[in-house]
């Protein structure tokens, strides 16, 4: 019950605040636009990501059973707004913590190592992001 309260608080208060960082040129936050796998409805979710080669690494801070992640698995692609640019990305591929952590800035790694157990990688399908 307590984790659900945290999720609700983050959904209505923290995530709208973090959304501002996704449009700036700083920070690990991005806005993922995805379509509900059952409803067909469009959603936007604030997530923590960082680039790695031709991909983005996503920290699954609430685990791998969250709806946005399952929607992403069901879709052929989605879009990611990161640092003011929109990227088309493919299906998520699970990666281990050891591979994922080096993608994030050094200051974030100790926190992520202790708090996040699941990471995924999404490949960028378009050669470069375009401004929204």
| Ordered DSSP codes for 61-118 | TT-TTSHHHHHHHHSS-EEEEETTEEEEEEEEEEE-HHHHGGGS-TTTHHHHHHH---
Q: Supply the range of the domain harboring residue 119.
A: 2-124
The pTM (predicted TM-score) of the whole model is 0.81
Tally of domains within the chain: 1
Task: Output the pLDDT for position 9.
Answer: 73
* 131, part of any domain: no
pLDDT tens-place string over residues 84-128: 889 999 999 999 999 999 999 999 999 999 999 999 999 999 766
Q: Is residue 129 part of a domain?
A: no
Whether 18 is in a domain gets the answer yes
**pLDDT tens for residues 28-79?**
889 999 999 999 999 888 888 999 999 999 999 888 888 899 999 999 899 9
Residue 11 or 109, more confident: 109
């Amino acid at each position: 019950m307590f984790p659900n309260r945290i999720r609700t608080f983050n959904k209505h208060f923290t995530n709208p605040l973090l959304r501002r960082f996704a449009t700036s040129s700083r920070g690990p936050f991005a806005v993922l636009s995805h379509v509900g796998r059952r409803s067909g409805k469009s959603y936007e979710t604030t997530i923590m990501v960082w680039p790695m080669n031709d991909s983005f690494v996503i920290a699954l801070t609430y685990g791998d059973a969250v709806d946005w992640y399952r929607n992403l698995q069901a879709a052929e692609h989605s879009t990611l707004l990161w640092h003011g640019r929109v990227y088309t990305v493919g299906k998520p591929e699970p990666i281990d913590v050891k591979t994922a952590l080096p993608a994030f800035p050094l200051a974030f790694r100790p926190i992520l190592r202790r708090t996040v157990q699941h990471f995924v990688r999404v490949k960028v399908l378009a050669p470069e992001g375009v401004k929204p």
